[in-house]
Structures are given as structure tokens and as C-alpha cells.
Structure 1
Amino acid sequence: MDTHAGGDVSRIVTAGIDTLPGATVRAQMEYLRDDADGLRRLLLEEPYGIPEMSVDLLVPATHPEAVAGYIIMEVMGYPIYSGSNTLCTATAVLEMGLVPKQEGIQRFKLEAPAGLVQIEARVHDGVVESVTCEGLPSYIDTYRDSLMVPGVGEVTYSIAYSGGFYALVDAEALGFKLTLDEEAELSACAYKIVEAIKAKRGFSHYTLGDVGPLPFLHFMGPEEAVGEGYTRSRSATYVHPGVICRSTTGTGTSARLALMRYEGRLELNDKLETVSLRETGFIGTFTGTHQEGAYQVVENTITGRSYVLAESTIVINCEDPMVRCGELHHILSDRHRDANAG
């Protein structure tokens, strides 16, 4: 089932893959990453996909409170959490009937590689009008550091963790208005900044430890107060060389909330609406805070809407020279393996 949230297309894989080894969804994700990366590559590379897409593989939940598990696959690898992918997966679970739709508000839990995720869906006349999901606990690792970036100049940035490490930069200070015509230039600028920060230092999570080099950058536009406790800001998120997310991203929005709270500009239940280059948006809500060692950790939720684009069967033809079946055979279900042995 192909879906999108805020413009980010997520392909939800609902069948055709064998049960993966691993006692948790996190362990199953690690198995895919280390031993069966062919599925991610198949669905995100030509001829089946494009780097701007994401893939979410539905798997049986390993936690008794969850209705399903899901493994997130993106061009940069296997994030343990993603807001837009969670919104899309939750919508697909309802549209498939895995969780029967009920009018009004209904709540259930999914299991991401990061752990249990509380979902709240609003259904009206059988339509999933919005989904609210928990954002990961987010915090500021580095506040207003600066460095000289070749081809850009001196850049001031903060680093947040919200499911991945984000560099947060002021778009106006870099000459951007965050309009669609700037997309390619935003991507090129973000690449230079991210590479410069990676060359300077790495980052470590307070419990997860080393989660790899800095992957993401979030451009922050001017903030506009549109109501009491409600702020709106244009935003753009870089996730991979050449790729600016179609949406503002849930984790990018969570990172912004962490920064605003760090600066003392958020009160409980305050909201931030981030608006993308394509005029789509997510709403982040500050729901609490707690201390983890030296870090003030922000609890939050992300609200958005996901739309179903298509339901289809993907045919894997092993005679196609662009398909690497050798990286797939050991996880395809028997029916798919036999039909496409090629």
C-alpha cells in the first residue's frame, strides 16, 4: 500500500516476506540491515522506486501491547524511528482492517525499532482524518556552535537528537526563504554543512551510544505566532545527498521543539506547525520534559494526515538485469520465491 504524509511517500509492505529472525522488531531490523538489505535496495532504487521514498515493512509485533511492528527503510539506511513513516503505517493498519476503524478517536500501539509507539487516530465517516503519534524523547546536544564551511561561509548550528541527530540552522541567515524553487540549492548547501560537521566531530546518544555520523539537517524559517501557544514556521529537512524531504519530517519537528524548549520558549501543550516547501505541514506538541543526566529531554507528539495512493502487487522478475535476486531469495515467502525463481 503506497501512502504519503506531508508529501513523503511511504510504501507499506504487507505480505510476501518470511518471518524474520529476531526476538524484537529492533533485532529484526538489524537482521535486514546486516543480512538482507536487498529488500530496501529493491524497493528504493530503479526501477521500482526513487531515493525520496521510504519503505515500511509490517512484521508481527513482539510486544504484547502492540498490534503490529514495522521496520523503516530509507535511502540512508534503517532509522529506528520516523514520524512520517509512523503516520503512514498507522493509516495503512487501519485501512487494511488490521485495526478495525471506529468512528471518533481510537488508540492503539505499534512497535517500531525504537520501541512502543502510542497512536491516536481520528476517524470521521470512515475516513482517517488525522493521526497523532509519539515523537521520540528529544534533546539538545550542542547549542549554537559554529564552523567555517567551504563554499558557504561561517555557519552557526545547534545539534538535536530526535530519533537521529539533526543539525538545526537558520534558513534566513544562509539566504534562504524556503520556497520550492530553492530545493536543489538547499540540498547542496546542507550537504556541505553536514560534511563539515561530520569532519569536525561525532555525536553520542546518552543511552544508545554511537549511532553513526550526523545524517540530517533541518532548515528553520522565521517563526510566526498564529495563536496563544501556537507557532508556525517554514522548514525543510535534508536527509541524504540530493534529497530534501517532501515533508518537514516528524523527527525534524521534534528537534525544533527540543530547541524551543531549551531556549525557554515553550510551555506545556504549546504547538509548533512546520510547513514544507510544498505547503504541507505537521504539528508538534510539547507534552512534557524530564532529565537524563546532563540533558533536558523533551516529550512530544506529532500530528499529521496520511493519504492512500495505491494498492498493488510488486512483481520481482529475476531475469531483469536491474534486479538483484540473490539478495532477496532467503527472505521472500515460498509463494513469491517459487513464482519468481527466474
Structure 2
Amino acid sequence: MEMKLPPHEGGELSVVDMHTGGEPLRIVLSGYPEVKGDTVLAKRRYVREHLDHLRRVLMFEPRGHYDMYGALIVDSEIPDADLGVLFMHNEGYSTMCGHAVIALGRFAVDYKLVKEPKSPETQVNIHCPCGLVKAFVEHSGGKTGGVRFLSVPAFAFATDVTVTLEGFGDVMVDISYGGAFYAFVDAQKFGLDVTKSRTRDLVDAATAVTNAVKSQVKLHHPASDDLAFLYGTILTDGKDDYSLEATANVCVFAEAQVDRSPTGSGVTARVALQYHKGLIRLNQTRTFQSGATGSQFTGKAVEETKCGDFKAVVVEVAGRAFYTGVSRFVQEPDDKLTQGFLLK
């Protein structure tokens, strides 16, 4: 029997839900008005200023939750792009999201956003706010599988930076860019283990780092001021030397949101940092594990490049995304919580 929406007034939003390594992605199919702007970055500013209530509808309770993540597909000004995308979460709009790119690659092939899929792999060019990201989707017999993507130029911004943390004192951190800026710290500096410690304790430590870096370190990006902000902090197990053994981390981003996956843009930034320190070489594949779920991505630096004055690398990240469902949401005008709420 076909499931129909009950009688209602107000707008509707249709979405496809996926997850990559346990991290959700809610992809908007319909219900958004026109997103204005000549560039993807301009569109990002437009939704933040004019359509933010719809982010709240999709990300917050009762339709979402504190750690929900979303993607809005938009037109791109780049001729080679198959689609443009805006990312959203509990605090706003990020500039890059690797787990979302992995999911969107598969989605784009399955929903025929790519005109001529090829086997054994279909290339999908995704224009993220940080730039054009090339994804490669396993495709055989009409079915999609694993996805790898090539990052925008990634670079170590600063290493061994001492910041003063409220409640923890002075801590030395590294800052690296993988489509977004992250601070990196060995969790052992806080007496924590990324695979065994309470999530709340990891969040408290990471949030203290994020707050300290935001207030004490000025970031800049050669391409745009819109990219020059700290997205979050990644606590690691300290195993940065090259090894066939998986290395674990936990990413806390946006408004203390915990990534269930190993974090695609975080893996990108961490590989760039390891390469900068001479701990890995080109085309040495490492496995990165989520301390939260145990899910894994692989990452490797495949090419040296430049980003302004920074020595940078292109990083390949690979993982697998899965569908979890399709939903149609309504917004009844007399519902006082129609735009959702967050419990902290």
C-alpha cells in the first residue's frame, strides 16, 4: 500500500538519507526555494542569510538530531561540475565534507546526475564550497559501490602551536587544512583514549582546543576569506608514523558535533600533516579508523601541489556509503516547533 502524507497545510521537504561510516547524510530532493548567487560560495552565503530556517527544519529535532548532517544540491558555475553542493549541520554550513562526498558520489550515479555512467568506475565532479572535488564511484552491472575522491589542495598551516586552554592549561597543537581547517592533538595529552574514553570527555577536550585556537590563532586561506575558519578539532591516538596498522581519531566539529566516521576532510588534513612532517611518502596508503564506531577510510597523498604560498598535496580518500531511507517532511504553520529545536 502506498504511504501517503496525512492531510496538512504548509510546505513539504523530501530527502534521501544515507550514512558513510556511521555518519548520517540527509540529501535534499525537493522543497527548497531557489538558491540565489553566481557562485557556490555566494549560494552558501545566501542560504545562511535567507534560508537558514530550512536547515533548522532538517537538522534539528523532531526531524533530525544534534549530530545530523545534510547536503543541498545546487547549480555550479564550473562547467566541468556534475553538481554543486552546500553542506549543513547543527551550527551552519561547512566548506567541505568527505563523508558527504563519498555518499554524494554514489547518489549522483544512482539518481542519474551523471549523464553517462561508466564501468568499472564513474567519475563524478562535485563542486564543494572549497572547490572542485573529483569522486570515482565503483559501478558495475548497474550497481554502485565504494567511492574514492581526490581532495582540493591540502596543507599543514602551522605545527607545534602552543595555545592556552580553559581548564587544561597550555597544549601544543597542529593545524592543517583538508577543505576545512582542523586542529590536531594527541588525546593522550588529556589522559584520554579515542577508542575507549567517554564521548563526553573527548568532546570537552576537543571543544576547549577549538575555542582556544579560534581566539588565539588567526587563520588565512589563499583562495578566499570564506574558507579561513576553524571547523573543529580532531583528537588522535598519536600514531602518525607510517604503519600498516589503522590509526584512530575522533573529530568534534561545528557546535560540539561528533563525527561517527573517520572524517573525510579530516583524513585529508591529517594526511597532509603527516606528509608535511615527513612521516609518510606519496602513495603510501594509511587506514584511518573512527574512534566512535570503528568504521574505516583509507587515505594517501598522491601528488604534490601548491596552494598560494603553502606546499600542498592532493589526497585520495576512500570509503563506502549506504542508503538508510527516504522521507517526506511537513511543516504545519500552527506548529510552534516547526523549525525544530536542539537539546544540548
- C-alpha distance in 1, partners of 2:131/2:251? 24
**% identity of equivalent residues:** 26
Answer yes or no: is the 8 Å Cα contact 1:59–1:71 preserved in 2: yes
Residue 259 of structure 1 aligns with an amino acid whose one-letter code is L
Aligned equivalent of 1:177, options 193, 202, 209:
193
Verify: 1:114 aligned to 2:130, yes or no: yes
1:173 Cα deviation from its structure 2 partner: 2.8
Distance in 2, Cα, partners of 1:214 & 1:128: 34
Q: What does residue 218 of structure 1 align with?
A: 234
Report the equivalent of 2:207.
191
Structure 1 residue 214: deviation in Å?
Answer: 2.5
Alpha-carbon offset, residue 62 of structure 1: 3.2
Tell me how far 1:123 sits from its aligned partner. Answer: 2.5
Deviation sequence 1:107-156 (CA, Å, 0-9, x none): 12122222322110112454422111122211111111223323223311
Tell me which residue corresponds to 2:287: 273
Q: Is the 8 A contact 1:146 1:156 kept in 2?
A: yes
Secondary structure class of the residue paired with 1:312 = strand
Cα deviation, 1:190-247, whole Å, max 9, x if unaligned, reads 11122122222321112323645423101121438896xx552011101034422111
Distance 1:66 1:26 in 2: 15
Which aligned pairs between 1:28-107 and structure 2 lie closer than 5 A? 28-99=43-114, 102-107=118-123
Cα 1:292–1:212, aligned 2, differ >3 Å: closer, same or farther?
closer
- 1:150 is aligned to 2:169: no
CA contact (8 A) 2:241 2:279 kept: no
Deviation sequence 1:65-119 (CA, Å, 0-9, x none): 2222211111221112111111111222222233365542111212222232211
- 3-state SS of paired residue (1:205): coil
Deviates more, 1:146-155 or 1:159-168: 146-155
Q: Which residue number in structure 2 is paired with residue 296 of structure 1?
A: 311
Q: What's the TM-score, normalizing by structure 1?
A: 0.87
* Structure-1 separation of matches of 2:335 and 2:195: 39
Contact persistence 2:251–2:266 (CA under 8 A): yes
Specify the code of the residue in structure 2 equivalent to 1:30: R
Structure 1 residues 170, 211: CA separation in 2 closer, same or farther (over 3 Å shift)? same
Contact 2:242 2:286 in 1 (8 A): no
**Which residue of the partner structure matches residue 248 of structure 2?**
234
State the superposition RMSD in angstroms. 2.2
One-letter identity of the residue aligned with 1:72 = F
Local SS of the residue matching 1:191: helix
Amino acid at match of 1:252: G
* Equivalent position of 2:25 in the other structure: 10
Equivalent residue letter for 1:260? Q
CA distance in 2, matches of 1:55, 1:199: 28
Q: Distance in 1 between matches of 2:240 and 2:166?
A: 32
Contact 2:303–2:313 (8 Å) recurs in 1? yes
Structure 2 residue identity aligned to 1:170 = D
- Partner SS for 2:153: strand
> Do 1:180 and 1:278's aligned partners in 2 also have CA atoms closer than 8 Å?
no
Is the contact between residue 159 and residue 173 of structure 2 (CA under 8 Å) also seen in structure 1?
A: yes
User: Which 10-residue stretch deviates more, 176-185 or 40-49?
Assistant: 176-185
Is the partner of 1:315 in helix, strand or coil? strand
Q: Distance in 2 between matches of 1:242 and 1:320?
A: 28
Instruction: Work out whether residues 83 and 250 of structure 1, in 8 Å CA contact, stay in contact via their aligned partners in 2.
Output: yes
Give the unaligned 5+ runs of structure 1.
326-342
Distance apart, 1:26 and its partner CA: 2.3
Q: Partners in 2 of 1:225 and 1:199 — Cα distance? A: 30
Which stretches of structure 1, 4 residues or longer, exceed 6 Å deviation after superposition?
224-227
- 1:26 matches 2:41: yes
Counterpart-to-counterpart distance in 1, 2:181 and 2:47: 22
Structure 1 residues 63, 293: closer, same or farther in 2, change over 3 A? closer
Q: Find the counterpart in structure 1 of residue 3 from structure 2.
A: none
Q: Provide the C-alpha distance between the structure 2 equivalents of 1:111 and 1:241, rounded to a whole number of angstroms.
A: 25
Distance 2:228 2:276 in 1: 24
Amino acid at match of 2:124: F
Whole-Å Cα distance in 2 between the matches of residues 237 and 65 of structure 1? 31
